[in-house]
Amino acid sequence: MTENNIGVVKEGLLATGLFFLLLAALTVPVVNLAAIWFLPLPFLILKAKQRLLAFILPVLFIGIILYLFPSPALAFLSLFALVVGLTMGHFYARETASGTDVVLSGLVAGLIGVWAILFAGQYWFGMIDGLRKSWEAEWAYTKRMLETAGVLPADFTIPPIESFIPVLLLFLLIPMALLNFWVGRRWLQRFQFPGKYLPAFREWRLPRPFFFFYVVMLALSLFMEANPSTLSILLGVLWVLQTLFLIQAFSFLSFFLHHYHKSNAWLILAFLILMTRFSVILQLLGMLDAGTRLREKIKQRD
């Protein structure tokens, strides 16, 4: 066995051991609240340092554990960690990729991975149906509590879980991608890897495909009224994208103020607008910034 192959095996074993250690930490109260966020980290570091061949050992050992101890939850966590970690590590190893590329790759891979796992789980185990029953039971209990207190709104309806899942994923995956990027970067810099950094907020921009994806999702939602379940999922995805466009709008305003040497205190006005029905203006501004070369035109004008 060559020295290079020995390194591949060693790195693969270390990543596998660290991943199983994080899985074991999930059984420890309090510690599990931190460990759950870093499940993709071993595979991010492994892919950044080694070739895809190094994943043979982790996949093999995970397969053996799943064979000995069958568990849908363990399979879900393992597949999710592999997909997100491998994707982020791949982009970190690319010289031309920025820190934003690494974080967005983790976010997109996480979204795709979770949705794929949910649909597969629904097909084989009725996962979404089970989640829906638990969701409706909890809301029914909440409704009874509100009725008892006499504060139940007249138009109270139970929101479909399909519209809630994308929102939950947004608030879970963004911190996870950022935390793994930050810790992974510090770890890899110890091995002479170049540091990749996120740009200043005023330079942050969504990739243009996000704009076109939003347009496609919006068009699809117009034809899904006959399928309430699918429509709820699409509406949830649209809500996530609209939130990202609002963040994009604040980034553009920060860029605009910096470009013309104005105080960021003007952003307070944008926050006030966000609290009103005119917040759609900010959303449209974010869409315009994401889908066009508006910033480049402003720079060229001066």
Give the pLDDT of residue 7: 72
Give the pLDDT of residue 48: 92
CA distance 137 to 143: 10
Give the pLDDT of residue 83: 92
Give the pLDDT of residue 266: 85
Contact 248, 289 (CB under 8 A): yes
CA distance 179 to 41: 9
Give the pLDDT of residue 2: 64
Give the pLDDT of residue 1: 53
CA geometry: angle 27, 177, 62, nearest 5 deg? 45
Residue with tokens 């309090």: 30
Give the pLDDT of residue 41: 95
- Is the alpha carbon torsion for 117, 120, 124, 130 positive or negative? positive
Give the pLDDT of residue 4: 63
Of 91, 111, 90, 87, which is closest to residue 101 (Cα–Cα)?
91
Give the pLDDT of residue 157: 75
**Could you give the C-alpha distances from 141 to 59, 137, 160, 162, in angstroms and in order?**
42, 6, 15, 19
Contact 270, 286 (CB under 8 A): no
CA distance 2 to 53: 14
Residue with tokens 């139970």: 158
Give the pLDDT of residue 229: 59
Domain boundaries, the chain: 1-198, 200-302
Residue by residue, pLDDT tens for the chain (302 residues) are 565 667 778 888 999 999 999 999 999 988 888 899 999 999 999 999 988 888 988 999 999 998 898 888 888 889 999 999 999 999 999 888 888 889 988 988 888 888 777 777 777 777 777 778 887 888 788 888 877 777 767 667 777 776 677 777 777 888 899 999 999 999 999 888 888 888 888 888 888 888 888 888 888 877 766 566 566 667 767 877 888 888 899 899 999 998 888 888 888 888 888 777 778 888 899 999 988 888 888 888 86
CA distance 129 to 295: 45
CA distance 232 to 241: 14
CA geometry: angle 8, 26, 66, nearest 5 deg? 60
211-249 burial, b at 16+ Cβ within 10 Å, e below that, comes to: beebeebeeebeeeeeeeeebbbbbbbbebbbbbbbebb
